[in-house]
Structure 1
Amino acid sequence: MSKTTLALIAAASAGAGAAVTAGMYSLRSQSERKLDTKTISTTTTTVSTSPSAVPAPVPIPAKQVFTPPNQQMLSTSSPSVLSTAPVDPAGLFDYGFPGPVSDIASREALVSSFDRRTRNPHWVVEHITPASLAQRGGDRQHSTFLEDDGVPEKFRAKLKDYYRSGFDRGHQVPAADCKWSQKAMDETFFLTNMSPQVGEGFNRDYWAHFEDFCRRLTTRYPSVRIVTGPLYLPKRDPVDNKWYVKYEMIGNPPNVAVPTHFYKVIFAEDGRTGGNVAIGAFVLPNAVIPNEKPITDFEVPLEAVERASGLEFATKLPMTRRRRLCADTTCALVIKDYAARQKAFVKK
C-alpha cells in the first residue's frame, strides 16, 4: 500500500472524511483505467414449483437460493416475473451483476444479496419511478419487522439482536419507496434489508434526507435504480499507528456487525432505449452528520465503492452512455423533520 493511499485512508473520520476514505480505493494505474470492453456472461437459474413442472428461466430466483454456487444461475435477459408490479429492480442487472451470488432474494420491490458472515446485506437493489411513488397502496403502520426465514437460522439476523443495542434497524431500501403495495412495503421490513444504523443524527435525519433526495430525482428522471449496502472501512490506530478494520457487533451472543459506512450507487435513466444514465456514488459514515453538510461532500468515484465493497456495478454500461449525476442535476438535500414524525409513529 503506497504512502498516498495511506494518507487518503488517514483522512477518514466519522463526521467529515467518508468521501476521501472511499476515494483511496479508486487509485489505480493508467492502464487499469482503460474501458473494460469485456462482457460478463451470466447463466440462468431455473426454479420448479413441483417435480413435474417444466423449469422456466427467471431473472432472479423467486425465493432465497441455497444451492451450491456452481448450480446457481442468473439471467439478465429473461422477462421479469414481476410483470404486474410498477417497478423492475432486476433491470439494473442490464448494467452488470454486482456479485457475489449469495442468498439472493427477489421480492416485489427489491432484490437483495445477504452476507451470512456479517448478518448484513451485501447489497439491495430497488427501482423507483414517478408512477410507483404516486401510488398509495401500502401503509407503514401495518408493517412489522421480520426475521427472514429464507436464511438458515444460524446465519440469520435476529430481532433480539437489535433489542437495546443502541442502533436502529436501518432500511437499505426504504419503506417510503414502496408505498405502491402493502406487500411490497411489508417485504422491506425483513431483516435481510436491514443494517444497524446510528439513529438520531443519521438514520432518522441525514440518511432519511438522502433517501428523499433519491425519490426527488424522479421529478427529472423517469426511471431511477439504486443499489445500497454497508461498508467496513479501515482506520489508523493512534497507539501503534497500524491500520485496522474495526466494527462493533450487536446481539447476545454477538451476531450482527455494525457497518462503519454505507454506500448508495444511483443510476438515473433518461428513459430512452440505449439512452444516457447519470451515475452517482456516495459513501456516508454510520455516524451523526450535521444536516447542513452538503451531500456532495460524500460523492465518490464509482470505482471507490467497488474497491471498498468488492462489488461491481456497471460492467455492461459503456462509458459513452454514462454521465455524472451531480453534473447532470443538482445534488442537494431538502431538510425535513423526519425524526419528529418517527417519534410520533412509535408513540402511536
Structure 2
Amino acid sequence: MRYLCLWGLASIWLLGFVPTAWSQDLNQQLALALLEEAQLQQQMADKAEEIEKLKLAQIIQDLKAIGLPKGPYNDDFVAEHAAMILAYAEEYEQARWVMHMLTPDVSTGNISRTNDFRPDPLIPTGSAVQEDYFLVETLPDGKLQYDGFGFDRGHLAPSADFRWSQLALSESYFYSNMSPQRPRFNRESWAALEDLFRAYVDRHSDTKLYVVTLPILHEGLPVVDRSVNKVAIPAYYAKLALDLTHQRGIAFVMPNRYCDEPLYTFAISIDSLEKLTGLDFFPNLESGLQAKLEAMSDPKPWLPDAQQQDVRPVSVELLPRGYFNTLQAKNHVGTGKSITICGTVVSTKLSGKGNVFLNLDRAFPNQIFTVSIFADKVINFPYAPHEYLKGKQICVTGKITDFQGTASMAIDNAKAIQFFD
C-alpha cells in the first residue's frame, strides 16, 4: 500500500508539475524566435532601404554619364532629384525637359499614387503651384469645391515609372514635373505612350531605358489665363527613349489633344526631334553609336507582339484626289456616300460561316478599318480573298458603316478593289 501511495504521489507530481516546466520552456523559445524574426524583418527593411538608395544613386550617375540634354537655354535651372533630373524654364513655368530612367523594377513595384502635388523646393525662382491649375474653396458645410481651369496637371516623367520607390514616386508630383495637358490627351493618348514604354521594359527585363520627356516650348505659346504664374500651354509634347542593350532609339511627338490615331503614327527619329527643339540629347554617347541610334525611326521594335503587323496609314499627300486613308475612314461613317479607302491588308480571317474579313493597317483586335466579304459574295472574286490579299496595298470603294466602334465596309465583288502602289 505504501508503494502505491508513493507511486500515486509521483504520478501527481509528473502530471501536475512537469507540463508547467515544459510550457514555460516553450514560451521562452517562442518569445526568442519571435524576437529574432522581428530583428530579421528590421534587417531586411534596412537592407531594402539601402538597396533602394544605391539604385537611385546609380540612376543619377547613369543619366549624367550618358549626358543631359544640351541647348542654347542658359537661363534654365537644372534640378537634380532622387530619380529624375529636369531643366526648369521659368519663362514658361514648367520644365523644358525631364530625364529619368525606366528600369525593370517597374514590373514588380507596387507603390500606389501619392497625389502629393506640391511646389518644387529646388527651383530658386519658385515653380508652378496648385493655383496655376485650379482653385479650391471650402464651403460652409466643410466640403471642398474645385474650380478647374480646363487642364490636367500632366506628368512629364510619369509617376507609375517610379512605383518601386516611395521617394522617387512622391517627387514626381512636384509642380516642376507638371505641364497643362488637355484632359483626354493626358488620361488616354499620353497615358498610352507611357504604357508603351513600360510594357517594352516588361517584355525586355534585361534592359533599362533612358527617357527624356518634354513639352515643345517656344515664344508665343498661349497661357492658362487664370493661372497665377501664367503657365504656358504647349501645343505638342515629345518623349524619347534609348535602349543601349538592344541598340534602339525612338522619339514620339504628339499634339496636346485627344489622339485617336495609332501611336506609331507619331514616331520620329531622335535626330528629327533635335532639329525641332534645338536640343542635343545623350551628348556623351560615342559619336558613331549616337548617330546610329538617333537616326532610327521605326516604331515596330517598341510595339507589343499584337501590333507587330501594323503599318503606317498611307500618307494623304500620296493619295489621288477623292481617296482617303484608314484614319480618315471614320469621318465618312454613315454618310451614305461611296468612299474609297486605301491601306495595307495586315490581317485576314475566314470565318466558320465562310465570311471574309480584311483589316487594313491595324490588325485585330486593334483594327481601325475592316472590309467584309460575306460568304455568298466570295464567289465573285477570282481568288481566295483572305489569302491573296494579305500583305497587299489596296483601295476599296463602298459605303462606310460603324460596326462595334470600327469603320467598316462590305463589298460584293473584285471590282470594288484596286491595287495601290
Q: Structure 1 length normalisation: TM-score? A: 0.61
How far 1:93 moved relative to its partner?
3.6
Q: In 1, distance between residues paired with 2:115 and 2:121?
A: 17
SS of corresponding position for 1:92:
helix
What's the counterpart of residue 268 of structure 2?
A: 300
Q: Is the 8 A contact 1:90 1:125 kept in 2?
A: no
What's the counterpart of residue 148 of structure 1?
A: 120
Residues 107, 167 of structure 1: CA spacing in aligned structure 2 closer, same or farther, 3 A cutoff? same
Farther-moved stretch of structure 1 (246-255 vs 207-216): 246-255
What's the counterpart of residue 301 of structure 2?
A: 329
Q: Is the 8 A contact 1:217 1:268 kept in 2?
A: no
Q: In 1, distance between residues paired with 2:86 and 2:56?
A: 17
What's the counterpart of residue 107 of structure 1?
A: 81
Residues 186, 307 of structure 1: CA spacing in aligned structure 2 closer, same or farther, 3 A cutoff? same
What's the counterpart of residue 248 of structure 2?
A: 278
Q: In 1, distance between residues paired with 2:57 and 2:229?
A: 39
How far 1:125 moved relative to its partner?
0.8
Select which of 190, 195, 201 maps to 2:179: 195
Aligned pairs (5 A) from 1:82-93: 83-85=54-56, 88-93=59-64
What's the counterpart of residue 256 of structure 1?
A: 231
Question: Which runs of no fewer than 5 residues in structure 2 stay unpaired?
Answer: 1-51, 135-147, 308-364, 367-421
Q: In 1, distance between residues paired with 2:56 and 2:129?
A: 29
What's the counterpart of residue 208 of structure 1?
A: 191
What's the counterpart of residue 67 of structure 2?
A: 96
Q: Which one has the bigger helix percentage?
A: 2
Q: In 2, distance between residues paired with 1:301 and 1:311?
A: 13
Q: Is the 8 A contact 2:196 2:302 kept in 1?
A: no
Matched AA of 2:215: P
Question: Which runs of no fewer than 5 residues in structure 1 stay unpaired?
Answer: 1-80, 234-243, 271-275, 337-348
Residues 252, 263 of structure 1: CA spacing in aligned structure 2 closer, same or farther, 3 A cutoff? closer
SS of corresponding position for 1:183:
helix
How far 1:283 moved relative to its partner?
0.6
Aligned pairs (5 A) from 1:160-175: 160-163=131-134, 164-175=148-159
Residues 327, 190 of structure 1: CA spacing in aligned structure 2 closer, same or farther, 3 A cutoff? closer
Q: In 1, distance between residues paired with 2:128 and 2:226?
A: 9
Higher relative contact order (CA closer than 8 Å, sequence separation 6+): 1
Residues 188, 320 of structure 1: CA spacing in aligned structure 2 closer, same or farther, 3 A cutoff? closer
Matched AA of 1:204: R
Select which of 98, 104, 109 maps to 1:135: 109
Aligned pairs (5 A) from 1:5-20: none
Matched AA of 1:139: S
Q: In 2, distance between residues paired with 1:90 and 1:213?
A: 25
SS of corresponding position for 2:54:
coil
Matched AA of 1:151: I
Residues 162, 278 of structure 1: CA spacing in aligned structure 2 closer, same or farther, 3 A cutoff? same
How far 1:257 moved relative to its partner?
0.4
C-alpha RMSD over aligned residues: 2.8
Percent of aligned pairs sharing the same letter: 27
What's the counterpart of residue 178 of structure 1?
A: 162
Matched AA of 1:165: F
Deviations 1:243-263 (A, max 9, x none): x94433343445200111001
Select which of 288, 294, 297 maps to 1:319: 288
How many pairs does the alignment contain? 235
SS of corresponding position for 2:149:
coil
